[in-house]
Amino acid sequence: MSVQPYPLHFKPEFKERVWGGRALEQFGFEVPAGHIGEGWMIADHPNGVSHVTNGELAGLGLDQIRERLGASWFGSKGGESGNGRFPLLIKLLDCNDDLSIQVHPNDDYDGLPKGELGKTEMWYVLAAKPDAKIIYGLKPGVDRESLASAIAEGRIMDSLQEVPVVAGDTFYIPAGTVHALCAGVVVAEIQQNSDTTYRLYDYDRPGLDGKPRELHIEDSLNVIAYEGSGATRMKTDGAKSGEWLTLAESPYFVTDKGIVNGAWELSTSPASFDVLIIGDGEGSIGYANGSVHARAGDCFLIPANLGSYSLEGSMTVLRSRVPA
């Protein structure tokens, strides 16, 4: 299949969650009815695939593009995921209520479901209500034994760190980090292409089916990095126009923040595609054969073999690549 590379825009795959709401409507998406917690913006997973909305490949799923064009379009490193699929999963999350207290395994955990990877991820806070917070890690000195006792005695919250958040905050969450988004935040999430989550606690609430959601206490206790996972957080209001500010570096992705104010000439790397998330504002992505409109909430896959492209307008952009 011979197709000239161009920036791919996707229709999200939306997921109803007990903690979801309607905030993703603010981006102009056709959000289905219900408590919509997740928009899988760029997805190639058995549990959800996003489909192209523009250009010659419109209507195709990312899985189909991978099968037909992956080697040349994804790059020499971007085509390597560990399970044959697109290496990243890009989401927007609307947290109308608190998420479960959870942790993700690494790639080497024996209990991983067949075909699944571990899950290292990061969050960029797009919006936060006053007094919004998240759960981010264990308190100092908490080990497996003390955490297991706290869970058994119904006082797990005493072991967890609460962190206030505002728009623009970034959190890097390596596998093994106990975490939870809380009510009142909308975030962009960049992660390994995995849907493996172990729940430690879910506030004794029913799921969408009216039944308690499954907990995974033993798996969680097994995969937590009690001595520290390498989690980092930062404020990003220091980002400057026309410069990339690195937010997170992992073996799976490197994510930068950039401010577009006018025209900014860029280029892909032969090693990896670029994923662009428009955090706010509006503009366009120009390339040799045309341009595509970009607005807040849009996510684009820029093929590795596109080469030169430009960002124009007034907008905040997150760029993610697979490290070379």
pLDDT bucket at 324, cuts 50 / 70 / 90? confident
- Annotated catalytic residue 205: no
Non-local CB neighbours of 104 within 8 Å, separated by 6+ positions: 118, 119, 120, 121, 173, 175, 176, 177, 194, 196, 197, 198, 223
Lowest mean pLDDT among 8-17, 42-51, 142-151, 206-215: 206-215
Lowest mean pLDDT among 96-100, 113-117, 124-128, 245-249: 113-117
Residue 305 contacts residue 273 (beta carbons within 8 Å): no
> If you search the block for the tokens 């917070």, which residue do you land on?
133
pLDDT reading at 291 higher than 90: yes
For residue 277, the cross-strand partners are 299, 318
Task: Report pLDDT for 2.
Answer: 82
Q: Identify the domain boundary among 172, 203, 234.
A: 234
- H/E stretch holding 69: helix 62-74
Distance between CA atoms of residues 273 and 65, nearest Å: 13
Average of pLDDT values for 56-84?
92
121 is in an annotated binding site: yes
Q: Identify the domain boundary among 175, 209, 234.
A: 234
Residue 83 per-residue DSSP state: S
Please give the mean pLDDT across all residues of the chain: 96
pLDDT reading at 1 higher than 70: no
pLDDT bucket at 276, cuts 50 / 70 / 90? very high
Residue 312 contacts residue 70 (beta carbons within 8 Å): no
Task: Report pLDDT for 36.
Answer: 98
- pTM: predicted TM-score of the whole model, two decimal places: 0.97
- 266: domain CATH number is 2.60.120.10
pLDDT reading at 315 higher than 70: yes
179 is in an annotated binding site: yes
Catalytic-role residue among 199, 233, 319, 321: 199
Q: Identify the domain boundary among 234, 254, 269.
A: 234
What residues make up the domain containing 317?
Answer: 244-321
Count of domains observed in the chain: 2
pLDDT bucket at 159, cuts 50 / 70 / 90? very high
Express each pLDDT in 200-227 by its tens digit: 999 999 999 999 999 999 999 999 999 9
pLDDT reading at 153 higher than 80: yes
Average of pLDDT values for 146-168?
97
54 and 182 in a single domain? The answer is yes
pLDDT bucket at 81, cuts 50 / 70 / 90? confident
167 and 72 in a single domain? The answer is yes
Average of pLDDT values for 300-316?
98
Average of pLDDT values for 229-251?
96
83 and 227 in a single domain? The answer is yes
For residue 254, the cross-strand partners are 249, 321
Task: Report pLDDT for 129.
Answer: 97
Minimal CA–CA distance to 62: which of 14, 15, 9?
9
pLDDT bucket at 39, cuts 50 / 70 / 90? very high
Distance between CA atoms of residues 54 and 6, nearest Å: 9
45 is in an annotated binding site: no
Task: Report pLDDT for 70.
Answer: 83
Q: Is 170 part of any domain?
A: yes
183 and 51 in a single domain? The answer is yes
214 and 269 in a single domain? The answer is no
160 and 210 in a single domain? The answer is yes
Q: Residue 261 carries which side chain, given as an amino acid letter?
A: N
State percent of the chain over pLDDT 90: 95
40 and 85 in a single domain? The answer is yes
pLDDT reading at 64 higher than 90: yes
Q: Is 3 part of any domain?
A: no
Average of pLDDT values for 306-315?
98
pLDDT bucket at 187, cuts 50 / 70 / 90? very high
pLDDT reading at 135 higher than 90: yes
The DSSP result for 231-253, as a single string, is: -EEE--TT--BT-EEEEEE-SS-
Kindly list the distances between the CA atom of residue 185 and the CA atoms of 32, 130, 191, 305, in Å, as whole numbers in the listed order.
20, 10, 18, 36
